[in-house]
Structure 1
Amino acid sequence: MYTGMKRFGPPPVASTFNTLLNGMLLLGDLKHAIFIVEEMYRNHFVPSFTSLSKMLKMVVKVGNLLDGLLVFELMLRYDYYPTEPTLNKFILMLCDAGMVSDTCFVFSVLLGKSYVYSVYCYNPILWALCKIGQSYTTLQLFYLMMKKEFVHNVCSYTGLIYGFYREGLQDNVFQWLDFMQSSGCMPNVITYMIIVKFPFDNGKFKEAIDFVNKMEKEGCNPDLVTYNVILRELCHRDRLDDISELIQEK
């Protein structure tokens, strides 16, 4: 019917497009919903924010990330911006899929428009960059967000510590731990486990245990996972005496 209206008339009007778009969304037909929005743009009609927001939410729900990026760009054409819950899920899915450059594109566009969402949107990007060996790029982003008065949490700091650890930058790891604590953010079990692996990697068992004891003194009690990691590292190095000593002490 729509094709016939385009060819023979009467020409589609705003209500025509809105009816078609709502119908496609109701049917869950994302492919044709996107087509209708693109047709609206070509014909100078404006879809509602609600419709495009619903489209992005549906795309995220089914996990179609390429269509998600397309819908995101369609929203930008009308100066629409995703709601925070949908954006957080979208960012996380992009990061999990290894689409780091696309993730950075989405975040940089929103940042350029002064749309800065919560730490739950930002942290997955930080971790994704660190996992691909971009810790210094992440550090630049971290300080940029600080200038914008963005509040980082323990997950943010731990992500950078993890990035420095992966790249073998021991001095940076311990400097960042000091900076983290001086900023009033206390490390958690995950933070310490990343740090503890450094002395283990260098065969310094006593130094590793000293960090575990430091955890306890600071009120960050090691959990079962912590000890499992320590025992696994010792087993890999055939340190049976140290395993026995650790079990007796703890």
Structure 2
Amino acid sequence: MTDSHKPEDELAGTEQPFVSHLIELRDRLVRASIAVAVVFGILAVFPGPSALYDLLAAPLVAHLPKGSTMIATNVISPFLVPLKITLMAAFFLALPVVLYQVWAFVAPGLYSHEKRLVMPLVVSSTVLFFVGVAFCYFFVFGQVFKFIQGFAPKSIMAAPDIEAYLSFVMSMFIAFGAAFEVPVVVVVAARMGLVTVAKLREWRGYFIVLAFVIAAVITPPDVVSQLALAIPMCILYELGVFAAGYFIRYSKTPDDEAGEAQTKA
């Protein structure tokens, strides 16, 4: 005997052949690539790869000794490194379009309660990543380079290599961008039932220790950058714990809502 009150599957009848999924995936990737290519072309014309690298190197150059400049130890570095910076900037600026293509591809296969969860997480994770990168560039770099140059012996003329600097910048951007995703990780873990909000509050002390360990491992061996990464991670953890309760209520499944209704009844 069937249950007449059982809700119908809202995705029933929406299945598509595997080939159709591959074609749609190809189209989405092409559109995302076109968006990145268009932004790359614009940045290549204005302000140009060289100007972009100068902008990226500004926090370091501002703290170099007078008369000191950056150097290129590879023959093609003055050409390749600015192009890499331009491509990186193009991807960052085109990221909203790229994420929209990802969202448009997976959205038809999601239930309405899943869409209510995924879209805010996609937007918030993007914003948090950019905030982490901006925090690293505008605050951390200046403090770290000032701290390092303050310890440099007077007999040493600092002349950093542009490729080494690019590698350093990329690692720092990724580290701070990923660290600022802590609230998203906390919310997802709580929503998936891997951990409760009460447990997250209990584990606060353990996370503080973990944050300082992570900061010590992935940042340069100076106190400034380690504190600049660990302290925001602790604050963002608290933000994630607060947001987890809201998202759990906001993205309830039909089964959860039906169960609560029966409990109240």
Question: If the length of structure 1 is used for normalisation, what is the TM-score?
Answer: 0.26
Question: If the length of structure 2 is used for normalisation, what is the TM-score?
Answer: 0.25
The one of the two structures with greater contact order (alpha-carbon pairs below 8 A, sep at least 6) is 2
